[in-house]
Structure 1
Amino acid sequence: MTEMMRAIVIDAPGGPDVLTMRNVPVPSPRAGDVLIRVKAFGLNRSELHFRRGVASFGSFPRIPGIEATGVVAADPGGEFEVGQQVMTMMGGMGRTIDGGYAEYVSVPADQVFPFASDLPWDQLGGVPEMLQTADGSLRIGLEATAGQSLLIRGGTSSIGLALAVLAKRRGMRVFSTTRRAEAFDALRSVGVDHPLLDDGDVATQIRKVIPGGVDGAVELVGTNIMKDTLRSVRTGGVVCFTGMLSDEWTIPDFYPMDWIPNGVRLTSYSGGAADLSPAALQDYLDAVAAGEAIIPIGKVYAFDEVAQAHADMEAGSVGGKAVVVVE
């Protein structure tokens, strides 16, 4: 008899109502794959894009979700012990293979990260993609070093909050933007030194504090404000384009000499699971357990509240990472 599980399935693009829960067969892991019993998963804007039908790739019907956290249920290759705590992310999850919005997910072993932690699942579920993106933006996109100054554009997003946490652990001076002055306390709570109200001219605010500009910036809002972000950075500094909270992805009639100030470097980060090491993951979880870092969770949802979670994410009302607890 086929074992069944609950999963969220999208048959065709649309609003949050297309996220329907149904009973489907538990995946059968092949050699080289690991079956994970999902305890919790985080929500990501790329899943919102996929649900709307504007993602760059993927097919329907599909169980969405580019990340999951749980325990090993089966491993035909014998790389992991049953019951081992693990996280997984990316690698086509929720696009070309079924993803984490389910009680079980089967993924390639090379995108499975073991860890050991007593933190609750509603915290652990928010870590994989958030940590990988924030860590990769700093380490690969900016090549950030201790003592540098950093501007985070879109600071109250889950990635923005995680960036602040990681940057402060690197000993960086952090500027971070928000469109709401009432969010300043939330920014300060993750270590931000200089909360900034985003009035469209952040460069002027930055240069009142650091006349030459910051060493680096991570753009999370989109191309609609990136010109101002580029003008916030010193000559020889770097802007890393990581996110598109505004859903502004492209620049019409892009003229580099108008957009990019002299000597400022523009990079991007959109890496995958291979960019995050198990050691970096464990170090972060240990730091959280020791009270030296936090996981910026905005709101936790039950499994049958996924559609509401998507609606809240779309409305920008979560205020951090949205996490769904499966059990």
Structure 2
Amino acid sequence: MRAVVLIEPGPVENLKLADLPVPEPEPGWVRIRVKAFGINRSELHTRLGLAVGVTFPRVPGIEAVGVVDAAPGSDLEPGQQVAAMMGGMGRQFDGGYAEYTVVPRSTVVPFSSDLPWEVLGQVPETLQTAYGSLTTGLDLRQGQSLLIRGGTSGVGFAAAALARDMGATVFATSRSRDRLAALAERGVDHPLLDDGDVAAQVRAIVPEGVQAALELVGTPTLPDTLAATAVHGTVCFTGMLSNQWTVPDFYPIGYLPAGVRLTAYGGEASDLPTAVLQRFLDQIASGELSLGPATVYRMEEIQRAHDDLEHNRVFGKLVVLTS
């Protein structure tokens, strides 16, 4: 089979397209014929040597979509459409950047859809992260206001779609004025140009601040996101588009505005119920929900795809088709 192998941490040239044996699944594991996989910041962190506990060489990839090829001792049948994500994929064992991947059953979520694979490839980890952030992280409710910091990321677009479907008023940011129209086209009520002082823009519209905020950029923008949030509102720290995720010399009393709650979210496949995935896919198919834009690559273009991600040349989700 063809697979992308990360020889060792470093530049994009360390991602090599190679021929590897098709892996054999043990009982309780599932071999998936991969049709598409998303590219995530997590894999960028692995390539840059920022991930902990990864051995090399390694096939990266924390997610994939495809069909079951073999599933000994499992409830899954060959030919079943599935998504796989997290659980050590691409770090503790080889991940989704391949024509076949073998993963634990616990990482697999079955579904049924006629959507093309390049669309399905956008969904698993993006939806899991957005859904978990809004529900577990923020407990978002109908009628509340939500700020998405980093709105033109794949998770940002998914979170906006879910939040609108939940009945929230959505604010979302982009650092590029040219991308604000894409937010508006997908139902964002208040697209905001991120000039570093988003809190002032938010409070010009809702003086008390938003009731919920999803931080996808990282620690550089977190103080401003906290400042945009109302007393008794909640900020969920989920993303690190900036590649910065720690706060030096964190002093909570001086850092957190009085009465504003700060939480975080990082989930697994088990945090995305099958029914939620299926409903989301059905709503995309019916036109009720709209995903953000995707840039689609072939496996031979993996170096270019990683370079585009690292340098923020494209927005929305990056998806690779295996054939």
Pick the TM interval, shorter chain: over 0.9
1:93 aligns with 2:76: no
Q: Which residue of 2 aligns with 1:248?
A: 244
8 Å CA contact retained: 1:212, 1:234:
yes
1:63 aligns with 2:62: no
Q: Which residue of 2 aligns with 1:222?
A: 218
Q: Where does the alignment leave 5 or more consecutive residues of structure 2 unmatched?
A: none
Q: Which residue of 1 aligns with 2:262?
A: 266
Q: Which residue of 2 aligns with 1:48?
A: 44
Q: How many residues align?
A: 323
Q: Where does the alignment leave 5 or more consecutive residues of structure 1 unmatched?
A: none
Using the TM superposition, give the Cα deviation of residue 51 of structure 1 relative to its aligned residue in structure 2, in angstroms: 0.7
Q: Which residue of 1 aligns with 2:115?
A: 119
Q: Which residue of 2 aligns with 1:173?
A: 169
8 Å CA contact retained: 1:123, 1:297:
no
Using the TM superposition, give the Cα deviation of residue 57 of structure 1 relative to its aligned residue in structure 2, in angstroms: 2.7
The amino acid of 2:39's aligned partner reads L
Q: In 2, distance between residues paired with 1:297 and 1:184?
A: 13
Q: In 1, distance between residues paired with 2:52 and 2:151?
A: 25
The amino acid of 1:206's aligned partner reads V
From 299, 306, 316, give the equivalent of 1:320.
316
Partner of 1:206: helix, strand, or coil? helix
8 Å CA contact retained: 1:63, 1:98:
yes
From 195, 198, 210, give the equivalent of 1:199.
195
RMSD: 0.8
Q: Which residue of 2 aligns with 1:28?
A: 24
From 231, 234, 240, give the equivalent of 1:238.
234
8 Å CA contact retained: 1:68, 1:89:
yes
1:13 aligns with 2:1: no
1:299 aligns with 2:287: no
Q: In 1, distance between residues paired with 2:284 and 2:254?
A: 43
The amino acid of 2:132's aligned partner reads G
Q: In 2, distance between residues paired with 1:237 and 1:56?
A: 33
Q: In 2, distance between residues paired with 1:324 and 1:297?
A: 14
* Identity %, equivalent residues: 57
From 304, 308, 316, give the equivalent of 2:304.
308
8 Å CA contact retained: 2:122, 2:294:
no
Q: Which residue of 1 aligns with 2:33?
A: 37
Q: In 1, distance between residues paired with 2:74 and 2:153?
A: 38
The 5-angstrom pairing of residues 127-142 of structure 1 reads 127-142=123-138
Q: In 1, distance between residues paired with 2:123 and 2:9?
A: 27
8 Å CA contact retained: 2:211, 2:233:
yes
Q: Which residue of 1 aligns with 2:141?
A: 145
The amino acid of 2:56's aligned partner reads F
Q: In 2, distance between residues paired with 1:86 and 1:296?
A: 21
Using the TM superposition, give the Cα deviation of residue 56 of structure 1 relative to its aligned residue in structure 2, in angstroms: 2.6
Per-residue CA shift, 1:144-185, capped at 9, x if unaligned?
011110000011111111111111110110000111111111
From 272, 276, 282, give the equivalent of 1:286.
282
Q: In 1, distance between residues paired with 2:197 and 2:253?
A: 20
